[in-house]
Chains A and B, each alone.
Chain A
Amino acid sequence: MADEDTPVRWRIRVEGIVQGVGFRPFVYALAIRHGLAGLVGNDAQGVFLEVEGPPSGVAEFHRDLTREPPPLAVIERVTAEPMPATGLPGFVVAASEPGGERQTLISPDTATCADCLRELFDPVDRRYRYPFVNCTNCGPRFTIVRDVPYDRPFTTMAGFPLCAECAREYADPADRRFHAQPVCCPACGPRLRLITSPGEDITGAPPGEDVPGDPIAATVALLRAGKVVAVKGLGGYHLAADAASPEGVAALRSRKHREEKAFAVMVADVAAARKLCAVDDAEERVLTSPRRPIVLLRRHRDSALAEQVAPGNRFLGLMLPYTPLHHLLTRELDRPFVLTSGNVSDEPIAYEDADALARLSPITDAFLLHDRPIHIRTDDSVTRAVAGREMPIRRSRGYAPAPLRLGRAVPRPVLGCGAELKNTFCLAKGEYAFVSHHIGDLENYATLRSFTDGVAHFRRLFDIDPQVIAHDLHPEYLSTKYALDQTAIGHRVPVQHHWAHIASCLVDNGEVEPVIGVAFDGLGYGEDATIWGGEFLAADLTSFERVGLLEPVRMPGGVAAIRQPWRMAAAYLDAAFAGDPPRDLAVAERNASTWDAVLAVGRSGLNSPLTSSAGRLFDAVGALLGVRDVISYEGQAAVELEQRVDPHADGAYEVGFAEGRPFRVRGADLVRAVVADLHRHVPVETIAMRFHRGMATAIVAGAERARAATGLSAVALSGGVFQNMVLLSGAVEGLSRRGFRVLTHHRVPPNDGGISLGQVAVAAARDRAGLV
């Protein structure tokens, strides 16, 4: 029988995101509060601690440990076991213990906290206007981590020895900066510089005067003058320009070779965001979250921005400042500014200083940079709020590398290599799936390097040695080729692209039962070596059946048919009118010089694969309606077609089915209906609405057939086409009305950024079922 006064000692282990988030000072303060002795430290598995004192005190401590953790901590597991009391007095913070099997989680980069912000703008604080202020509750993490355990020598802050003042804060368990690895101040930390080229500092010292200049003020002056400034951020360089300056934004566009794709804009706060866009509660929550993604918001008709920021777009990507540097800029500039990735179109964002100086010099008028290295290139995340919940478009800075929980532990560690465009990879061990930051388009060599380097980095950081490798079926994907080259990994699991999409949606929703998967997408390699992308699958994580598809058409000229949506219009017209398409259509007239040649290419089959892609049908209709014949970024025709929709227009096109297993959706019916309305001079906006409704109806009707055939009644919607809000809401509404349970994306994107997670989920499930 335990004596109420006999001290007990417990060894406790805490796992999760518990390093670099102020967990040890929290434990320290808690122990002091309960009058306990003991120790706390970091090791490769997380935080270990021992507490000793009266049984009631230890019990209360144990309870409070999970009840009020620091804001950035994510506790995944707490284990405790008794040990002999030592009688040693005092509570100490033990040194980190390297080595051992790593299970530490690394915090994503986090927006400046309220305490740090107060210091930033407090004229008597020693960090007043210091652009690198941070603490255990905020600041850079993933982007500066070179290795674990998360300690300063293993970060890019290693080169900044602490000054006496900072060292004191760092060592004081009662301080907000206790063991904040990136802690620094103007005396010892990174410095800002504004330069035009390597030797030329234009920080803004008044000529002839010997006072240090103010790079922020000088940058603000340049932006006000309509100049472009490259700004070194958390995960890479941005390019900034005054969003109200038509010249500035136009200069940025032409120098970046980014003709039309919308730019993101940074605004000071939610009030400033509301001046440009409508912001509902859910959107405000996402916008102000410590992750600070770019949020796609419906813009006001009269927002005072240069037209060039987001030409012809009803939405605008806004973000709030997430580093002290951004806060200083937004406050002093006092107007919205474009903050877009620091690259030439299609290249990965620059993040190393020498490379940035070389690549961005032709684009920018000046560089606002600093001497804290970025270890991992990490793009801004992009997201939107749909029906009150977040739907990621690009999951990267602020999100990665936080793990997603799989419902069950993977039997053996898995690597999923992802797709070709918008690539992410995913490593899984135990119950955790670590989906990487956004990697990008692998055909670009620098991007392929970040893929291979990134995989190696994640393997080291999370100590995952994959024994199973999952990859796409497409033989030409560089991620597939990479997977096939990894002969050191024993087991390969090819996963069909659209099955991976649906699997990612299942994991996203914690669903384990089979579903009807509707994968409406750009393109993915099918099991029959044609190109899929308008699929109805009966799927779970171990197998799938293609129960329906969009009737395939030719893509005349392969890749050319993606870059030139008018070719899909030609192919669909050829199919819809049995080889005798009407010649009086504007799309044929606009492309008269090669129209017949392209029709012939399609009919010959030469470099014209068959595709069931829904994205290509959107392309065809986009071109038919004169929205877009040739695109300059992925999915542009479909994106712009959605923008043209008049939600108040009536009517919906009907689509027929060829019954069977698989059944086929006659997409050409929609094209014939579009042509009929064009001939009747129905406004484009009305046709766009009717077409979207037609597609949504086809989804519902397809799901009904799939339900009849399989008895399944849950539907998972995935694939890049479901970034289309008009289609998504139409499909969700129609399906719900017919009694389907509908799953959509909330944690990973419906586009190819989610493929790696789906691959991992399938590989793990098949492994568990003994199928690997």
Chain B
Amino acid sequence: LAHGAGGKATHTLIEAVFLEAFRNPLLEPLEDQAVLSLGGPRLAFTTDSFVVHPLFFPGGDIGELAVNGTVNDLAMSGARPRYLSSGFIVEEGLPTEDLVRIAESMARAAEAAGVQIVTGDTKVVERGKADGCYINTAGVGVISHDLTLGASRARPGDVVLVSGPIGDHGITIMLARGELDIEADLTSDTAPLADLVDRLLAAAPGVRCLRDATRGGVATVLNEVARASDVAVVLDERAVPVRTEVRGASEILGIDPLYVACEGRFIAVVAPEDADAALDALRTHPQGTEAAVIGQVKADPPSLVLLKTEFGGTRIVDVLVGDPLPRIC
């Protein structure tokens, strides 16, 4: 049950079941995409499934998310996304106009991201299954630079940046379920990021690693980097950009924004000499105006993410095993 939160349980599930069964050198790094060589330019290839509820929410819908999510997983390898597939699992009784709305939204998102949806599939399942509709997308992109990016490439001294304020998407979704009596002027941050990434890589070839902070949020993604690179990531609590509305809603919900999903934000680990150039490149792009340096990579303690708090304390930001449950007595 706890296997969906994007935390350690999911990770264990993936490693124990799928990596075990499918093991090969391309899958092994467990990046968000595989980088393939078929003789021509290097290709990035990825797939993702989308099960968001509700299907429509302020700032987007499941269709837009399905395009942007896959496009962004490609972009995180520095690829230019080119072609997508889309597979629908639709619950019997989903209003046709909803499906049309989703499809139109996907088309718009594809156009904005510069990709074509070139193949697809649709299955209808009985009522009570599939929460209205699930979408799977797969995508292929072309890598034209010769950088190697990856979660295992962070080195002590590197700088950690985030491309914008965190947590908008996750909080928007929680509020959109309508059970909570919380008013907040918030929309999902879902957006295609390939443009912003292009700009970043051109300005800062010292980028080591890019990760979109989706499920499990910035905290989970940085833990993956810390473990894969065997380094410490030390965050400065005050430097992490969080919108006032997100902060307010998170406080009411008792949730730490560091663990909340984004759909249009990524973290970048950059060699120190390129950190200024990277921040500049992000901030001069309309999608990255609120980008910020949020921390540093250190040698010690390996495999941990630490947060320097306002009073100068150092808190461990661990991967959650399951749903957040209070630990204090």
Contacts and interface: CB of A to CB of B under 8 A. Distances in A.
Given A445-B306, A475-B321, A607 B327 contact: no
B254 A560 contact: yes
Interface in B280-329: 301, 304, 306, 311-316, 318, 320-329
A523 interface: yes
Contacts of B100: none
Given A443-B327, A474-B325, A558-B324, A607 B254 contact: yes
B251 interface: yes
A445 B324 contact: no
Nearest to A611: B326
Task: Please indicate which of the listed interface residues B177, B306, B322, B326 has the most CB atoms of chain A within 10 Å of its own CB.
Answer: B326
A597 B254 contact: no
B185 to A, nearest CB: 15
A720 B329 CA distance: 8
Contacts of B254: 556-561, 601, 607
B329 A421 contact: yes
Given A345-B311, A597-B181, A420 B253 contact: no
A185 B264 CA distance: 67
Contacts of A560: 251-254
Interface in B163-200: 174, 177, 179-182
A606 B177 CA distance: 11
Contacts of A421: 327-329
A56 interface: no
A604 B180 contact: yes
B255 interface: yes
Interface string A557-598: 111111000000000000000000000000000000010111
Given A476-B325, A559-B326, A607-B324, A445 B314 contact: yes
Contacts of B323: 607
Contacts of B329: 419-422, 521-524, 615, 634-635, 720, 751-752
Interface residues of A, number: 55
A74 interface: no
A634 B301 CA distance: 28
B253 A607 contact: yes
Interface string B149-171: 00000000000000000000000
Contacts of A594: 252
Residue from A449, A524, A558 with most neighbouring chain B CB atoms (10 Å): A558
Given A476-B325, A481-B318, A557 B313 contact: no
Given A344-B313, A359-B312, A476 B328 contact: no
A599 B311 CA distance: 31
B327 A474 contact: yes
B179 A609 contact: no
Interface of A, helix, strand, loop or mixed by DSSP = mixed
Given A597-B182, A606-B174, A557 B328 contact: no
A154 to B, nearest CB: 27
Contacts of A359: 312
A477 interface: yes
Contacts of A420: 327-329
Contacts of A481: 318, 321
B180 A597 contact: yes
A272 interface: no
A405 interface: no
Given A557-B252, A597-B182, A600-B181, A444 B325 contact: no
A572 to B, nearest CB: 17
A8 interface: no
**Which of A419, A446, A478, A600 has most chain B Cβ within 10 Å?**
A600
Query: Most chain-A CB neighbours within 10 Å: which of B253, B318, B324?
Result: B253
A346 interface: yes
B318 A444 contact: no
A721 to B, nearest CB: 10
A344 B316 CA distance: 17
A481 B7 CA distance: 14
A446 B252 CA distance: 29
A359 B177 CA distance: 45
A448 interface: yes
Contacts of A237: none
A598 B252 contact: yes
Contact of A600 (B180, B255, B314, B325): B180
A720 B328 CA distance: 12
Contacts of B181: 596-597, 599-600
Contact of B315 (A445, A474, A477): A445
Nearest to B325: A609
A108 B251 CA distance: 44
A443 B315 CA distance: 6
Given A347-B313, A600-B180, A476 B327 contact: yes
Contacts of A562: 326, 328
Given A345-B311, A346-B311, 7 more contacts: A442-B316, A443-B315, A445-B315, A481-B318, A560-B253, A598-B252, A600-B180
26 contacts: A420-B329, A443-B315, A443-B316, A445-B304, A445-B306, A445-B314, A445-B316, A474-B327, A476-B318, A522-B328, A522-B329, A525-B325, A555-B326, A556-B254, A560-B254, A561-B254, A562-B328, A600-B179, A600-B182, A601-B254, A606-B174, A607-B253, A607-B323, A607-B324, A609-B325, A752-B329
Nearest 6 pairs between A and B by C-beta?
A: A557-B254, A560-B254, A522-B329, A604-B179, A600-B181, A475-B321
